[in-house]
Amino acid sequence: MGDCELLRRACPRSFIAPFLQRRVRPDGRRPSEVRSAEIVAGGPYEGARQSEGCPGSAPPRPPLAAAHASSSVRAGADWWFAAVECKLGPPVPLPPRNGSPHGECGSGGRVVVVVDMPRICGCSQDDTVGTSREVSRHLTALLNDPSVFDCGQLQFPGHPAAAVEADPGCGDNHNNSSSSIKFYWHLEVRVVCLQFGGSLFRAPTLAAVAALGALRIPDVEWDPQKKWWSLLPPSSDLREDQTGEGGELVVVRGHKVVLHALPVCVTACQVLHNTWVIDPTQEERQLGPLVGLVSPAQGAPLSVHKLQGGPLDALLLQQLQLAAASAIDETRNQLAKAILG
């Protein structure tokens, strides 16, 4: 047993080769098989709503109670958490929509994903500095894709007086359009790796999408002292919006966000000259080029993102996408079960 573990650490390629000759991996999986993921997702507001309808049942506990929504993902040796924070603010420029004329882009609220891979989780320095930024960029673009998440649902219906309080000059300009005094929700999804087992793309994507899918925008109330909106606790018995004496909204009820699709990602690694494995472990990913395969929606074509290694043959990548189809479907089923229950 000691010699086996020594070979595994000192020369992982020699350790893995005999397994792959039998079309199996050291952890018992087939080359194209992903690790089963245990996904838990929830939010304090959604839990409060469910407990109102079922007084005798305890509300589901989110992984992180202080977040507006959160999730945890365990798959093999990987353990990831994600938390969503909702913030009100002015609109920001959005990327152009596919098919928009002349690359036009609007403004509004958006989703920002920040992936953190600290060294304490067991990853390398390159992952902490470079890979985490690259995955953050990919996930931010993925979750702002209109086919996945419509950022239009982040528009805040609060009264225009809030804009005057925030920027007194806007009330004097009668030529301002209505969009200039609108506020939007901005969603920050922070994904943190607690224990790294080789999943650079799949686990953080599952965590981010599961947390966003469990999100309910919080209820807010206009605070005349602070001259801004204050979050109401999840236990507040708020059934509908409330208006002030002038007819403006002073209490705004939150709403559940809607995902139009469940995007999933898997990684593939070339462990031997002509052998690729899906969802590699930390040892397997050290053996060769690594690519991320992204499926924004069921039935959509896969996109390929090179994560490490040199250039890859186009025909080989096409074959790899076909081999990863079942792994993509299995991953999406696990995600849907966690979000929909």
Angle, helix 202-213 to helix 132-143, in steps of 10 degrees: 40
Distance, in Å, from the CA atom of 200 to the CA atom of 265, rounded to the nearest integer, reads: 10
Is it the case that residue 176 has pLDDT exceeding 60?
A: no
**3-class SS at 278?**
strand
Tokens coding 173:
């300009």
The structure tokens listed for 66 are 């202080």
> Count H helices, E strands: the chain?
9, 16
Structure confidence by residue, pLDDT tens digits, 3-21: 666 556 667 777 788 888 8
Predicted local confidence at residue 58, as pLDDT:
47
pLDDT above 80 for 225: yes
More confident residue, 316 or 167: 316
Structure token digits, residue 68:
């507006």
Mean per-residue pLDDT for 303-309? 78
In a domain, 170, yes or no: no
Q: For 42-51, 151-160, 327-336, which range has the lowest pLDDT when averaged over its residues?
A: 42-51
Whether residue 219 is predicted with pLDDT greater than 50 in this model: the reply is yes
Report pLDDT digits (tens) over 57-108.
Answer: 444 567 787 789 999 999 999 999 999 999 999 998 887 665 555 555 678 8
Write out the residue range of the structural domain in which residue 144 sits: 17-44+65-96+106-161+181-233+250-340
**From the centroid of its chain, how far is CA 146?**
15
In a domain, 166, yes or no: no
What CATH number does the domain containing 287 carry? 3.30.230.70
**Does any domain span residue 176?**
no
Rounded to whole angstroms, what are the CA distances from 169 to 164, 181, 187, 203? 7, 11, 27, 46
pLDDT band per the 50, 70, 90 thresholds, residue 185: very high
In a 13 Å sphere around the CA of 316, the CA atoms on its Cβ side amount to 14
Q: Which residue(s) pair with 107 in the sheet?
A: 93
The whole-number pLDDT of residue 60 equals 53
Average pLDDT, the chain: 80
Residue recorded with tokens 């225009």 = 160
Number of folded domains in the chain?
Answer: 1
Report yes or no on 125 lying in a domain: yes
H/E run at residue 185: strand 183-195
- More reliable by pLDDT, 175 or 218: 218
- Token look-up 């002038």 returns 246
- Residue 228 in this model has a pLDDT that exceeds 60: yes
Q: Indicate whether 38 belongs to any domain.
A: yes
Inside any domain, residue 4:
no
Q: Is the dihedral of CA 120, 126, 131, 132 positive or negative?
A: positive
Residue 118 lies in a domain: yes
- With 50 as the cut, is the pLDDT of residue 56 above it? no
d(C-alpha 28, C-alpha 76), whole Å: 12
pLDDT given for residue 174 in this prediction: 40
Q: Is 269 a member of any domain?
A: yes
Rounded to an integer, what distance in angstroms lies between the CA atom of residue 123 and that of residue 127? 6
Structure-block tokens of residue 334 = 């696990």
Prediction pTM value:
0.84
